[in-house]
DNA sequence: AAACAAATTTCGTATTATGAAACTAATTAT
DNA sequence: ATAATTAGTTTCATAATACGAAATTTGTTT
């Protein structure tokens, strides 16, 4: 590998190897696993200890990681907001499915659109300012339901009670018990569907985004006309949406 | 620094530096901050990119960290249990204060002792098997109250209702409202006191331990006779107990 | 369009990391 | 109890490796 600094490459390999062993690893183990000389491993470990990434257990003499890597890693996550973290992932999702992707967060009983990615005619991607900032109720959208499904039951009830439940189409769910059953189904599947509940002829598939505390932070959705987003395609599309939402969650520090 | 591998030292310094800048850093910035030559920085960054720790933003050309460090760091945390994570810290606390240190977790309405560190006559440390596994109610112990103070109010109420509230000493709190006020005080102070509420002549100071999800996972306490643990000393001791509990929380991946 | 700033690449050199071997300590077998 | 084995540590001569000066490319600002 030309251009790659050997000792750095090796040192990082050692870190990666040790990270798999909570009990720690001995020099010989490491040396054999990585095909490095014992003294080389010893020297590199010395450097990692000097930098505070590794400690040697004084009883077993095994080398184990400290929490320094964890702390460093956290700093990256802390400063990230959902929009920034989503960017690359929503764009990729749009390109894959060639349908509009929305990113939303919650504000009270509503969802607020904070990003929208759609295909332009020329097959290049574009990010539309239109609709950003628009609000919709939680209870009648795929993104909203995806979020509610992973929130506390009490909070869901509060939001339901505070919402003005309106039958936007004949498919809108307006009964609380029925709605709770719907949420249970969403929990099972891991995604939510808006099957013309908000607007006739439009179908959406949404999945929740979790933050580093395991709390729902937002959601993404794919939406399009029922002619393109057919019942048959839903499973396939939902998988992509879920995968994308999970990737974003991971960027935010979710450990699921 | 003899024995320290220069390039590894430098590469890790670069990682540490970049971790402070979510927007990323340019080669010149890094080179100036660390007093390294530009080409050296470039080469080391190349290696870090090759290993997946860093990416270069194609627009700004700035170098930023990926989530790889975060993922590596998490692996260390995931396998840790509270007993293992506490070991070194509780021992250090005992040595510092020369009083018994307890580690507990919750089981229903009780706390269960899972570790105890006390000084032996000969001033060397020993870990007593005695009392490990013993149970006490949450509501009347410093550790229990420390845990309750950082749990949901509803859960606290449930536990209170499920507990058989007994006046163990004249100081035991048996009124719910008074108890909730006590918890509020504990939240303010960050530690809980058992001022002869469980046993006359014994005073304890407890602090909660949080896990990576920010949930209460257990608690530690210092306990001793009221002659040694005097009212005047409480502040000072509490600081030590809090610090210790916080260190353990950090080992478990708590990001507070 | 020129000047500037920043990133990247090249390359000769010597510093630096390397690994063989010797050494020490601890554990296991005889 | 002693030898043998296994694992960790230290030393040191060698050459491979990382280094940094300088040149080049790329992009931005005046």
**Contact assessment for residue B201 and residue B222, using Cβ atoms and an 8 Å cutoff:** no
Give the tens place of pLDDT for each residue, A161-197.
Answer: 988 888 888 888 899 999 999 999 999 999 999 988 8
Nearest in space to B222 (alpha carbons), one of B98, B89, B86: B98
Write down the pLDDT at residue A170: 83
Would you say residue B66 lies in a domain? yes
Q: Choose the weakest-confidence range: A121-125, A246-250, B235-239.
A: A121-125
Reduced to 3 states (helix: H, G, I; strand: E, B; else coil), residue A127 is strand
Same domain, B55 and B96: no
Write down the pLDDT at residue A127: 38
**Contact assessment for residue A57 and residue A30, using Cβ atoms and an 8 Å cutoff:** no
Distances (CA, A) of B190 to A3, A111, A150, B91, B101: 52, 36, 30, 21, 18
Residue B199 CA to its chain's centroid (Å):
27
Same domain, A123 and A34: no
Percent of chain B with pLDDT over 70: 93
Inter-chain contact B44–A9, Cβ cutoff 8 Å?
no
Number of Cβ atoms within 10 Å of the Cβ of A196:
17
Domain that includes residue B150, residue range? 79-251
Nearest in space to A76 (alpha carbons), one of A255, A254, A251, A245: A251
In the predicted structure, residue A10 carries a pLDDT above the cut 60 = yes
In the predicted structure, residue A149 carries a pLDDT above the cut 80 = yes
Same domain, B129 and B226: yes
Number of Cβ atoms within 10 Å of the Cβ of B177:
8
In the predicted structure, residue B59 carries a pLDDT above the cut 90 = no
In the predicted structure, residue B52 carries a pLDDT above the cut 60 = yes
Same domain, A226 and A165: yes
CB distance from B72 to chain A under 8 Å? Answer: yes
Among left, alpha and beta (phi > 0; psi -120 to 50; other), residue A252 is alpha
Would you say residue B256 lies in a domain? no
Reduced to 3 DSSP states, what percent helix, strand and coil does chain A have, rounded to the nearest 5?
Answer: 45, 20, 35
Same domain, A131 and A211: yes
Nearest in space to A165 (alpha carbons), one of A155, A179, A153: A179
Same domain, B176 and B111: yes
Domain stop point among A47, A76, A105: A76
Contacts of A72 (CB under 8 A, 6+ apart): B15, B16, B19, B69, B73
**Of A114-118, B12-16, B124-128, which has the strongest mean pLDDT?**
B12-16
Percent of chain B with pLDDT over 90: 41
In the predicted structure, residue B167 carries a pLDDT above the cut 90 = no
Same domain, B108 and B159: yes
Would you say residue A83 lies in a domain? yes
CA of A27 to C1' of D6 (A): 12
> Which positions in strand C are less than 7 Å from the protein's CB atoms?
6-10, 16-21
Angle between helix axes A38-50 and B6-18 (nearest 10 degrees) is 40
Percent of chain A with pLDDT over 90: 39
**Domain of residue A116, CATH code:** 3.30.450.40
The label of the residue with tokens 């749990």 reads: B151
**Mean pLDDT, all residues of chain B:** 86
Contacts of B69 in chain A (CB under 8 A): 69, 72-73, 76
Same domain, B137 and B203: yes
Q: Which residues of A36-61 are buried (b: 16+ CB within 10 A; e: fewer)?
A: beeebbebbbbbbbbbebbebeeeee
Same domain, A32 and A105: no
**Domain of residue A69, CATH code:** 1.10.10.10
What's the start-to-end Cα distance of chain B, in Å? 35
Write down the pLDDT at residue A256: 76
Domain stop point among A76, A91, A114: A76
Q: Which nucleotide is nearest to B37 (CA to C1')?
A: D20
Q: Which residues touch strand D (CB under 7 A)?
A: A 5-8, 26-29, 38-39, 42-43, 56, 61-62; B 6-7, 10, 36-40, 43-44
Selecting from B5, B77, B213 the residue whose C-beta is nearest the C-beta of A44 gives B5
Cα gap B223→B201, rounded to integer Å:
11
Would you say residue A153 lies in a domain? yes
Contacts of A65 in chain B (CB under 8 A): 76
Write down the pLDDT at residue B71: 79
Contacts of B71 in chain A (CB under 8 A): 73
Same domain, A245 and A149: yes
User: In total, how many domains does chain A have?
Assistant: 2
Same domain, B57 and B152: no
In the predicted structure, residue A76 carries a pLDDT above the cut 80 = no
Same domain, B105 and B168: yes
Would you say residue B1 lies in a domain? no
Write down the pLDDT at residue A120: 52
Give the tens place of pLDDT for each residue, A24-64.
Answer: 888 988 988 888 888 899 999 989 999 999 988 877 788 98
Selecting from A22, A47, A76 the residue whose C-beta is nearest the C-beta of B69 gives A76
Would you say residue A1 lies in a domain? no
Would you say residue A256 lies in a domain? no
* More confident position, A83 or A188: A188
Q: What is the CA radius of gyration of chain B?
A: 24
Contacts of B139 (CB under 8 A, 6+ apart): B145, B148, B159, B160, B163, B165, B173, B179
Mean pLDDT computed over B221-233: 91
Would you say residue A214 lies in a domain? yes
Domain stop point among B76, B92, B107: B76
């Amino acid at each position: 590998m030309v251009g790659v600094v050997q000792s750095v490459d090796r040192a990082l390999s050692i870190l990666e190897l040790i990270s798999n062993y909570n009990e720690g690893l001995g020099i010989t183990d490491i040396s054999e696993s990585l095909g490095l000389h014992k003294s080389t491993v010893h020297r590199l470990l010395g450097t990692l200890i000097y930098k505070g990434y590794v400690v040697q257990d004084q009883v077993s003499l095994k080398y184990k990681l400290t929490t320094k890597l964890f702390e460093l890693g956290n700093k990256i996550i802390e400063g990230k907001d959902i929009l920034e973290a989503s960017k690359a992932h929503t764009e990729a999702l749009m390109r894959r499915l060639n349908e509009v992707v929305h990113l939303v967060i919650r504000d009270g009983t509503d969802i607020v659109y904070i990003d929208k990615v759609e295909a332009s005619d020329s097959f290049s991607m574009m990010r539309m300012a239109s609709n950003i900032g628009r609000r919709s109720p939680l209870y009648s959208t795929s993104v909203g339901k995806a979020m509610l499904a992973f929130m506390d039951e009490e909070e869901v009830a509060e939001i339901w009670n505070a919402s003005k439940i309106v039958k936007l189409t004949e498919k809108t769910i307006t009964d609380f018990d029925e709605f709770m059953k719907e949420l249970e189904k969403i929990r099972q599947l891991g995604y939510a569907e808006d099957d013309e509940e908000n607007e006739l002829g439009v179908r959406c598939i949404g999945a929740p985004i979790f933050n580093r505390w395991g709390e729902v932070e937002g959601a993404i959705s794919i939406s399009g006309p029922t002619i393109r987003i057919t019942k048959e395609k839903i499973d396939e599309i939902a998988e992509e949406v879920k995968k994308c939402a999970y990737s974003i969650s991971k960027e935010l520090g979710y450990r699921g």
